[in-house]
Amino acid sequence: MAIRIGIVGLGKIARDQHVPVIEASPDFTLAAVASRSGGLPDLPYYSDIGDMLAGDDGLDAVALCQPPQVRYDAARAAILAGKHVFLEKPPGATLSEVKSLADLAQAHGVTLFASWHSRYASGVAAAKAWLAERTIRSVAVEWKEDVRVWHPGQAWIWEPGGLGVFDPGINAMSIVTHIMPRPFFLLDGTLSFPENRGAPIAADLTFRDDSGVPITAAFDWRQTGPQTWDISVDTVDGALVLSKGGSVLTIAGELQETAPEAEYRGLYDRFAGLVARGESDVDVSPLRHVADAYLRGARVVVEPFED
């Protein structure tokens, strides 16, 4: 029987990704929407999650697509109502609230899934498998895009908890934490804050793993023209490059064949499997690296940003 799921927060990512994937999935039925921005034809619509949970729609699960600053209360309400919960990335505004939700989900016997869509980019699994058997010399991440293209008019993203440039940057960190065979940690960094914003517009970070391999990451929201989403890994057997957000894989100069892009289909397949097995998946390692950047990175003030 298909899992009856409701979407909370019908913004761009929900309309572009969640809705079409759910509608095409054999595992899910889209049963209701809760949003301040309107609903979808022929579906029950609610203005908030409280009303949706009180409705008579037979929901088994919810997908939470609101900004992270308001997601905790919605997730808590859903868990207490016995619903499985899919968290858009990042899973929360703080590490502590995500830990609280994970404990609550375990206590109530429901699935909690902290989703990282970039891990399901078509080149990532093959990259992870290849690197597992290689000696790595260094890693360089370059994740630069135009915020005016990808997040126009979204004031929440510049507020504390909205992550700023780490909203896309955390996608890169979700890939690197997944493909690297050993954990790594921050050494230092610089976070550039527009003087009129509460979140950074750029960040330059330096990490190392426990064997001394250097890892650098450059995130910037001011890039115009072609966008850059690249991860380069130098190994003794040649360079591995994941480009275009992980969808294109090159190894030792040779382009690798990859499956068609289906990041959100991969997420929902994973969520369905977790629900079937009664398990949760709440990996916060990408968010932990962002928190470490705020803890250890030097703050510099740059020119104001106007949308």
Please identify every residue annotated as catalytic. 89
Helix (H) or strand (E) holding 63: strand 61-64
Query: CB-based burial of residue 150 (10 Å sphere; 0-12 exposed, 13-18 middle, 19+ buried)?
Result: middle
| Cα dihedral across residues 26, 29, 35, 38: positive or negative | positive
What is d(CA 17, CA 14) in angstroms, rounded to the nearest whole number? 5
Phi first, then psi, for residue 202 (nearest 5°) are -155, 155
1 is written with which tokens?
A: 């029987």
146 is written with which tokens?
A: 């135009």
What is d(CA 86, CA 65) in angstroms, rounded to the nearest whole number? 9
Q: Cβ contacts of residue 216 below 8 Å, gap of 6+?
A: 138, 139, 140, 141, 204, 205, 206, 207
CA angle 2–59–283, rounded 5-degree value = 80
What is d(CA 307, CA 303) in angstroms, rounded to the nearest whole number? 13
What is d(CA 189, CA 191) in angstroms, rounded to the nearest whole number? 7
Helix (H/G/I), strand (E/B), else coil: 18? helix
Per the CB < 8 A criterion, the answer to whether 266 and 158 are in contact is no
Per the CB < 8 A criterion, the answer to whether 83 and 75 are in contact is no
